[in-house]
Amino acid sequence: MIQSAAFIGLGAMGYRMAAHLPKTFETVYVWNRNFEKAKQHAAEYGTLAVELNQAVQADVIFSCLPTSADVEALISSIEIKAGSIWIDCTSGVPDSAKKLSTLFEQQGAAFLDAPVSGQTIGAENATLTFMIGGNTTAFEQALPAIQAMGKLIQHVGDSGAGFAVKAVNNMLMAVNLCAASEGLTALKAHGVNLHAALDCINASSGKSNATETILPQRVLNRSFPLTFALPLLAKDTGIAVDLIREAKLSAPVIALTQSLVQAANGTAEPNSDFSTVAKMYESWSKITIE
Amino acid sequence: MIQSAAFIGLGAMGYRMAAHLPKTFETVYVWNRNFEKAKQHAAEYGTLAVELNQAVQADVIFSCLPTSADVEALISSIEIKAGSIWIDCTSGVPDSAKKLSTLFEQQGAAFLDAPVSGQTIGAENATLTFMIGGNTTAFEQALPAIQAMGKLIQHVGDSGAGFAVKAVNNMLMAVNLCAASEGLTALKAHGVNLHAALDCINASSGKSNATETILPQRVLNRSFPLTFALPLLAKDTGIAVDLIREAKLSAPVIALTQSLVQAANGTAEPNSDFSTVAKMYESWSKITIE
Amino acid sequence: MIQSAAFIGLGAMGYRMAAHLPKTFETVYVWNRNFEKAKQHAAEYGTLAVELNQAVQADVIFSCLPTSADVEALISSIEIKAGSIWIDCTSGVPDSAKKLSTLFEQQGAAFLDAPVSGQTIGAENATLTFMIGGNTTAFEQALPAIQAMGKLIQHVGDSGAGFAVKAVNNMLMAVNLCAASEGLTALKAHGVNLHAALDCINASSGKSNATETILPQRVLNRSFPLTFALPLLAKDTGIAVDLIREAKLSAPVIALTQSLVQAANGTAEPNSDFSTVAKMYESWSKITIE
Amino acid sequence: MIQSAAFIGLGAMGYRMAAHLPKTFETVYVWNRNFEKAKQHAAEYGTLAVELNQAVQADVIFSCLPTSADVEALISSIEIKAGSIWIDCTSGVPDSAKKLSTLFEQQGAAFLDAPVSGQTIGAENATLTFMIGGNTTAFEQALPAIQAMGKLIQHVGDSGAGFAVKAVNNMLMAVNLCAASEGLTALKAHGVNLHAALDCINASSGKSNATETILPQRVLNRSFPLTFALPLLAKDTGIAVDLIREAKLSAPVIALTQSLVQAANGTAEPNSDFSTVAKMYESWSKITIE
């Protein structure tokens, strides 16, 4: 039975996610590279800011870092506790999950790839979606801990499957965003009212999260708030095309979109939100999507 | 003031749409090439099955035909009544709308392009979405008649704008369908449970009508019900790329997707639903999306 | 039998092409919108600078203008002489050729679409390639006149076929240029010597006019000389995609390349050579192809 | 100084290549998995058919196998001789070359990636093109041995550069083939004579090896001779996109073409020549490219 939990990586997501663990566990360790953040979390939520060595002695350990390379580096510096379950919420690389899963298994422990969606608001309200790959028994054991933070929690397959679903999700978002930017540019060129057009599309078969949320809330109002950096979308779409390459599949729309996200990333200003992909189309057409 | 209405083209959509007009108008003419359909409608809903000549003497005339070419052919065979408003619900060609609009204006009448979305269920429940282009005064005069059948009714711009929005909507649907088919093929190849994956995606940023409705209800259950024929999607995506060509824009994802829909249409069996685009990807990968 | 010839449009190509006609015909009229050019040509080559009305009384009339729209406008302002053969060397639109061909036929005359390749050097040396569409009898009658300027002269099909071949040729050039730019960017990123790489490719299966001529002579040496303007390439690739749309074909590589040329054209400086397409890739990758 | 040479892998290329070595070296070992081939070569050309162990004791060792995986497996089974130079003519993977190069260096030996082009006729006539990556000193030492088989021999960069150039070359060939197939399908649909059209294109800016050689000699004459298998082209184009992914570049035309080659490979009959990519387009359009 799970007695203690830990959360490693207190970024915008992790900080809010870890806040829910004390409701379920008496002992909750937190650790962050910038350790002040951990102390602040402890003061705010009654968690315990401890050394990394101690944190990884918890029964379940959550991590939420920028990339799989960060997770691998961190894990290579610690000793894996037998019986522990590591739940990695990073938007990571499936092959890395497989490698780490084997490593944990050899130590009598388990590694689950468990990326999330729902943004900071979902982290705050414990309504995140978890897409989880890895050992089913470990998944069931860890479920109560995960439920403290999530609403929809799905075991989607073996090790790596969670990361794969997250990469494909972000890829589809990128496709829908590119296509909607293209479509709205065309409508604007023909004198159509884009707000009215989006209302119609969002009541019709062409709707997507891009037309319902991204374009109205980030592009048409010209805000482009930095909540998900364009280089991270470039990374995630890259993971999706790697999945396709490995399986020797043909996915032309995805392959093209990855190229376009890469091109947008190559020409965007630093610290650009992913929604600035729309600006690449604007530079090509001299048309503002508003 | 509008006293009489007519509905021309009693297909799966038109038959149900015309059924709502008698609630608003005392005199409702209906006409259909296969005239038995018109008589049946009259018997069922109290409309008047009349000759085309008489139908087009109504104050507002709705039409719902397969293509703009059909509408043009029909209008070239009749006399346009001064003061009448023609509301064409066909998924048509913007340039054709502009041409017809000018023609009606010369006769002291008006032509609105007013394609709909919402499928037969929306036609039945009078909850269709209307995306309308053309003269604003005519639009306002016709509004009560349109409200008899629609829920969301948007004037999106000048003549042709309605058809343009509909074409872009269907194009986005095609893009989202292609990308989702590609993404699910990749996930399947990596052993992911597609139902669980779709649940996650539909709670996340990658969701679209394709992942929420088309894939679960048509592809994963292997039903591919024929409700919207693939050649019609090929036609509509073609209208979208024509919009882009005319404005000399660059829309790579849309251009590619139109090519893919055309390829799928070239290899599909006759009378295939638009969702069989997914089968093209299956033939490439030997993977079944289920 | 052909007694007199005319040449209309004395641009960089036309000026040099018309210079060969006096070797074959006693009477050679020339006309140009900027009439000084015509007078200069007459002084230099013994042609006759005359009014447009007189020029079009020749037995064969060559034209070489920027677009089919220019040719149509010019022809609509003149009277077509029965028995004459009009040979249009513009890189034009197939549908326009069909329309003009019918018009000339109605006047007992003939219109051949006869675009050329070979650049100014080919015009100067009378070694141009002519790809010709239209009536076979007219083609055979006009052959001696064409042979005065061309080396390879091919009748490729009915009216419009010549323009179609020229559009496809320029489209293939654009594809090969884009792909080669992409490939060389990748090689550069991996530290490969591009000059050595091009030598190898040009002795191998990947070679094209882009790798043999365009990249070494325009891009790698950073000269980008303006000999064929990027907007004209955008126009020609547009004609190619229109051919594909009309025939309802699927041509994904061509459709994508047209989008990319359009994007490059949208961001290029005014008066850019077509080879600056390579600079778009450079802006995406921060890699210079040299 | 090089005293002895070896050739490993006596396939269609290797058999002919190895035949030239006895002109330059007194001692030439040959080895092949199917050893009968080696004995036959020895009988025909005066080489020595020996055990693999002995063959790899030569001063220079050539290899020509299907994939880098085959080369790695073979090398892992032998002892690397200090001072030897291994010249791998496989169409291989740049990362594999880097790995093997490091391994050989650690043993005081050298590994050059040295893929070739020129087909069996070039192998027979010793007119192959070699694109070579790796240590410059080793390259210069090995040059006399390479010159026995090649005409154009280029050192293109560090380890892996040779494989990279070969992959990009084959990728460009695939792009040019796809685009030319698309273009010719369009011309055929418009009634153009394809032989005449190819003559024009091959005298113009759109020409490539695809229009000059592949289409006339394999597609238009409906021969599709199996000389380079489609799965190998799929492999090579995959290597090219991997180069692009590693460098985080945007190469939309290449990415799309790899998808199309993969799709063609997924639907082609077994043992199809790479030129059957054209048949995929034919199946989409119901048009035969002839």
Between CA A84 and CA A62 the distance in angstroms is: 11
What is the residue-averaged pLDDT of chain D?
97
Chain A contact set for C185 (CB, 8 A): none
- The complex's ipTM? 0.97
Enumerate residues 6+ apart whose C-beta is below 8 A from D154.
Answer: C196, C197, C199, C200, D129, D130, D131, D132
Q: What band does C2 get if pLDDT is binned at 50, 70 and 90?
A: confident
Whether residues C259 and B250 touch (CB distance < 8 A) is answered with: yes
Q: What is the model's pLDDT at position B7?
A: 98
Q: What are B206-241's pLDDT values in tens digits?
A: 999 999 999 999 999 999 999 999 999 999 999 999
pLDDT greater than 80 at residue A247: yes
D286 forms beta bridges with none
Between CA A218 and CA A201 the distance in angstroms is: 17
pLDDT greater than 80 at residue B96: yes
pLDDT greater than 80 at residue C179: yes
Assigned token pair, C28: 């050679």
pLDDT greater than 90 at residue D2: no
Q: Please report all neighbours of D, defined by 3+ CB atom pairs within 8 A.
A: A, B, C
Residue C226 Cα, gap to closest chain A Cα (Å): 21
What would the DSSP string read from start to end of D130-153?
EEEES-HHHHHHHHHHHHTTEEEE
Q: What is the model's pLDDT at position C200?
A: 98
Whether residues A253 and B175 touch (CB distance < 8 A) is answered with: yes
Helix (H) or strand (E) holding A275: none
pLDDT greater than 90 at residue A136: yes
Lookup result for tokens 């075991």: A155
Average pLDDT over residues A15-20: 98
Q: What band does A178 get if pLDDT is binned at 50, 70 and 90?
A: very high
Q: What are C39-88's pLDDT values in tens digits?
A: 999 999 999 999 999 999 999 999 999 999 999 999 999 999 999 999 99
pLDDT greater than 90 at residue A229: yes
Chain A contact set for C284 (CB, 8 A): 262-263, 266-267
Whether residues B283 and D262 touch (CB distance < 8 A) is answered with: no
Q: What band does C189 get if pLDDT is binned at 50, 70 and 90?
A: very high
Q: What band does A2 get if pLDDT is binned at 50, 70 and 90?
A: confident
Range(s) for CATH 3.40.50.720 in chain D?
4-157
pLDDT greater than 90 at residue A110: yes
Assigned token pair, A67: 């990339």
Q: Which among A98, A166, A188, A235 is annotated as catalytic?
A: A166
Average pLDDT over residues D262-288: 97
Residue A97 Cα, gap to closest chain C Cα (Å): 28
CA C247 to chain centre: 23
CB atoms closer than 10 angstroms to residue B53: 11
Task: Note the CATH architecture for domain B164-285.
Answer: Orthogonal Bundle (1.10)
Between CA D97 and CA D91 the distance in angstroms is: 11
Range(s) for CATH 3.40.50.720 in chain B?
4-158
Q: What angle do CA D12, D13, D15 make, to 5 degrees?
A: 75
pLDDT greater than 90 at residue B244: yes
Q: What band does B2 get if pLDDT is binned at 50, 70 and 90?
A: confident
Between CA D113 and CA D234 the distance in angstroms is: 20
What would the DSSP string read from start to end of A145-201?
HHHTTEEEEEEEESTTHHHHHHHHHHHHHHHHHHHHHHHHHHHHHTT--HHHHHHHH
Lookup result for tokens 């009915």: C158
| CA-based nearest residue in chain D for residue B265 | D284
Whether residues C283 and A267 touch (CB distance < 8 A) is answered with: yes
CATH superfamily of C4-157: NAD(P)-binding Rossmann-like Domain (3.40.50.720)
pLDDT greater than 80 at residue C1: no
What is the residue-averaged pLDDT of chain C?
97
CB atoms closer than 10 angstroms to residue C79: 10
At CB < 8 A and 24+ separation, what contacts does B67-70 make? Answer: B67/B92, B67/B93, B67/B235, B68/B92, B68/B93, B68/B96, B68/B97, B68/B163, B69/B96
Closest by Cβ to B267, choosing from D252, D266, D284:
D284
Q: Please report all neighbours of A, defined by 3+ CB atom pairs within 8 A.
A: B, C, D
Percent of chain B whose pLDDT exceeds 90: 99
Average pLDDT over residues C3-26: 96
Between CA D180 and CA D162 the distance in angstroms is: 27
Assigned token pair, B18: 């015309």
What is the residue-averaged pLDDT of chain A?
97
Chain B contact set for C258 (CB, 8 A): 255
Percent of chain A whose pLDDT exceeds 70: 100
Tallying the residues shown for chain A, one arrives at: 290
pLDDT greater than 90 at residue A176: yes
Residue C142 Cα, gap to closest chain B Cα (Å): 36
| CA-based nearest residue in chain B for residue C267 | B250
Q: What are B3-41's pLDDT values in tens digits?
A: 899 999 999 999 999 999 999 999 999 999 999 999 999
| CA-based nearest residue in chain B for residue D285 | B266
| CA-based nearest residue in chain C for residue D184 | C168
Helix (H) or strand (E) holding A226: none
Q: What band does D158 get if pLDDT is binned at 50, 70 and 90?
A: very high
Q: What is the model's pLDDT at position C106?
A: 97
pLDDT greater than 90 at residue D1: no
Q: What are D190-218's pLDDT values in tens digits?
A: 999 999 999 999 999 999 999 999 999 99
Average pLDDT over residues C95-105: 98
Q: What band does C259 get if pLDDT is binned at 50, 70 and 90?
A: very high
**C166 assigned to active site:** yes
Between CA B290 and CA B273 the distance in angstroms is: 17
Quick check: A130 and A64 in contact, CB under 8 A?
Answer: no
pLDDT greater than 90 at residue B92: yes
Helix (H) or strand (E) holding D188: helix D161-189
Range(s) for CATH 1.10.1040.10 in chain C?
164-285
DSSP state of C208: B
pLDDT greater than 80 at residue A169: yes
Q: How many CB pairs under 8 A join B and D?
A: 18
Whether residues D200 and C129 touch (CB distance < 8 A) is answered with: yes
Q: What are D66-124's pLDDT values in tens digits?
A: 999 999 999 999 999 999 999 999 999 999 999 999 999 999 999 999 999 999 999 99
CATH superfamily of B4-158: NAD(P)-binding Rossmann-like Domain (3.40.50.720)
